[in-house]
Structure formats: C-alpha cells, structure tokens
Structure 1
C-alpha cells in the first residue's frame, strides 16, 4: 500500500516532469538510474540527462506511472510500477512503449527521495 508520503513524492516527481532542476532535486545526491543501455550516477547526471531529453526527443512529453507493488521497509521503500512516456497528442502509450520500473526510495529527516530507478521494457 502506498503511503501518503510516498504518493506525495511520486506526485512531485511527475509534476516536475519537464523541469530538470526540480526533477533532479527529488533524487538523492548519490542516486543511480539504470535503463536499457544507460547508467547515470548522481543527481547532476540525472539533471543533465533529463534536461537534454526534455530539450530534445522528450520535449512536450508527459509520463504515466501505475504502481503495482509497494513495500516499505523502515526508511526504505521499493515501488514496482508499470509506466511509460506519452508524447504530445498521445492519450495512450504506443504499442511496446510500456516499461516495468523499480524505484528505491529512502527517507532521511522525514523526507522521501529517489535513491535508485531502473526500468525494462514490459511484455505486451
């Protein structure tokens, strides 16, 4: 079950979509991102890569994310979700565009942040 604090973090992540500084601020300084063929290490790498994506191929896009499983273990949460990116004018994910994502979140001083994110293509 997703707690209100974790839901709030996800709401802030997707509200920041398109703003590299606001988006990266929700990641830990030492966060990692792994996607097919991509490894990013650190908040600055997240900010730089997402800024470039939003200035180029993801310009005007929006993300969708539907949590499938949420486990909170102390000050760590693991969220598995079905997600994807909608390009301008799209209301539904294109065939083959869905991913399965795993988020590792940590809570420090009462604030949740993204510690690690990874995704892989979802089966149709």
Structure 2
C-alpha cells in the first residue's frame, strides 16, 4: 500500500492477484465473444482505445465489441503477458502488457496483431475495474 509521500509503489500480492483476475475476466469474455461480460469489466465512464477505435464509456465499448465479435474479431481470442504493474495510490494501478489478438489455431499473436497495452485500473468495491485501456501495435508499421 502506498503512503501519502509515495504515489507510485509496488502492488501488494493481493492487489496483483486481483488485477490479474481482471485481465483473466477480460480474456474469458473475449474468448466467449460476450460483449456484455467484457464491458462489465469497465467503470461507467471508462475509455477504450484500440487501433482506429475510441470508445467513451462502458456502453460504447459494449456496442463496438458486439459488432466486432460478429465481424473482424469473430473466432478470435486475446492473450497477454504483464510487463509491469504499479500502484498509483491505494485505489488505482497501471498494468503494462504485451500480447495481442489470436486467430483460430494460433498460440502467439501474428506480427500484425501483436500489441503493447496500458490498463489503468481502479478499485471498485471489492474488485478492480478498467478506467482506461489503450493498445498499440508492437511492430512499427513504417
């Protein structure tokens, strides 16, 4: 836990586990193409930024994913590995990860679908929720 003089600290083991559980809920919702379960991992006024996509609020994320799971993300899964995690006070944290979207049969993201992601998470009651999610391609397209 942080003190008033330390804004950025190493998370306690319980917070690490709870934030990891959030990422697992996100991956499970994606794997089942459940836009409602995915959106439920966000706070009401969260933001989600994907390549070419900006969603403001949980409902916009839900709407986008409802369509995407029927179109370009149909049959896909997501994967990710934490790079770093740090607390921003007692009730907020940032997780950086590397992963991507997996097409059917893939175990690693393709060169084109590998991403780095920033997860800004906040304590919401007894659980952690996403306040902001943003990802960007790992591989420079230029």
Specify the alignment match of 1:47 in structure 2.
Answer: 62
State yes or no: 1:111 paired with 2:127. yes
Structure 2 unaligned runs (5+)? 1-10
Superposition CA RMSD, Å: 1.5
Matching residue within 24, 30, 34 for 2:45:
30
Q: Aligned with 2:73: secondary structure?
A: coil
Equivalent residue pairs, number: 124
Instruction: Give ranges in structure 1 of 5+ residues lacking alignment.
Output: none
Larger radius of gyration: 2
TM-score by length of 1: 0.93
User: TM-score, length-normalised on structure 2?
Assistant: 0.81
Matching residue within 23, 44, 47 for 1:10: 23
Deviates more, 1:47-56 or 1:29-38: 29-38
